[in-house]
Amino acid sequence: MKNKYSEFENQINNGVLLKYPCYSNQERELLKKYQIQQNEMRKKLIKYQSLQKKSWLISKK
């Protein structure tokens, strides 16, 4: 799990560095935190939507 997370973090680091080379380190850190938050929210939304779909299918029966 830690390996996957560090790989994910490296991808974010590389993406931030490539997209925003003129930003300061502090700005890059904020962007990384923002991107990680966005990813977490996306995961929660997908989980919520799948739960909604399951409950809809159950109630339909």
The string of pLDDT tens digits covering residues 40-59 is 999 999 999 998 888 877 88
**Which tokens is 5 given?**
């997370």
Q: What is the pLDDT of residues 12-27, one digit of tens each?
A: 666 666 666 667 778 8
Written as six digits, the tokens of 19 are 């997209």
More reliable by pLDDT, 42 or 31: 42
Instruction: Judge if pTM exceeds 0.85.
Output: no
| pLDDT over 70 at 61, yes or no | no
pLDDT for residue 4 is more than 70? no
Q: How many structural domains compose the chain?
A: 1
Amino acid at 7: E
- The C-alpha atoms of residue 37 and residue 11 are separated, in whole angstroms, by 15
In this prediction, residue 1 has a pLDDT band, given cuts at 50, 70 and 90, of very low
Q: Which domain holds residue 30?
A: 2-60
